[in-house]
Amino acid sequence: MTDPAGSARISDARADATLDARYGRTPNRARRDRAILWTGGIVGGLVVLAWLVWAGLGGAWASLSYTDAGHRINDAHSADVMFRVTTDPGNEVSCAVQVLNERKATVGWKVIELPASELHSRLITETVRTSELGVSGLIYRCWLT
C-alpha cells in the first residue's frame, strides 16, 4: 500500500527545491548575502567614524561671531555701518555689509577684508557707497578667510 501523504511530502520538497533554485534561494546565496551585509555595515561604520574624526576631532575650530553696532546715513550716496567682530586672535575675516532702503531693498553692498589682529573683539566702521538714500545699514555675514 502506498502512503499518499508521504508522496505529497516528497513532491512538496521537490517543488520547494525547484522554486528555491529558480529564484536563487540556495544556502550559498544566503551565506553570500550575509557576507555582503556585514561588509557593507563595516564599510559604512568606517565612513561614519572617519567623518566624525574629520568633523569633530580633526583640530581646533576657530570661533567667529559678529553683531550690528549701528549705522549712520551720511547722504543719498553713502552710509556708515558699524559692527563688532569677535574671533580668535590671528584670524583673518571677511565681512559683507549692506545698506537697505525703506522698501528693504539693497542699495549698497561692500565686502571688506579684515587683517589678522591680536584683539579678540574689534569694532569696525565701514563706509558703504549707495545708489540711493538708505534707511538702515547692517552686517550681512562674516566668514574666516
User: Which is more confident, 21 or 116?
Assistant: 116
In the chain, the percentage of residues whose pLDDT exceeds 90 is 65
Residue 73 region, left (φ>0) first, then alpha (ψ -120 to 50), else beta? beta
Residue 56 region, left (φ>0) first, then alpha (ψ -120 to 50), else beta? alpha
Q: Evaluate the CA torsion angle 43, 49, 54, 59 in order and state its sign.
A: negative
Residue 61 is predicted with a pLDDT of 66
Residue 22 is predicted with a pLDDT of 78
Report whether pLDDT(4) > 70: no
Alpha-carbon 43 to chain mean position:
22
- Third-level CATH fold of 64-144: Jelly Rolls (2.60.120)
- Distance separating alpha carbons of residues 74 and 33, to the nearest angstrom: 73
Q: What is the mean pLDDT of residues 25-30?
A: 76
Which grid cell is 41? 555595515
- Distance separating alpha carbons of residues 90 and 86, to the nearest angstrom: 11
- Distance separating alpha carbons of residues 40 and 24, to the nearest angstrom: 21
User: Which is more confident, 12 or 1?
Assistant: 12
Listed by start position, the domains of the chain span 4-57, 64-144
Interval 91-123: pLDDT, tens: 999 999 999 999 999 999 999 999 999 999 999
Interval 67-100: pLDDT, tens: 999 999 999 999 999 999 999 999 999 999 999 9
- Distance separating alpha carbons of residues 62 and 58, to the nearest angstrom: 12
In the chain, the percentage of residues whose pLDDT exceeds 70 is 90
Determine contact, residues 129/110, Cβ cutoff 8 Å.
Answer: yes
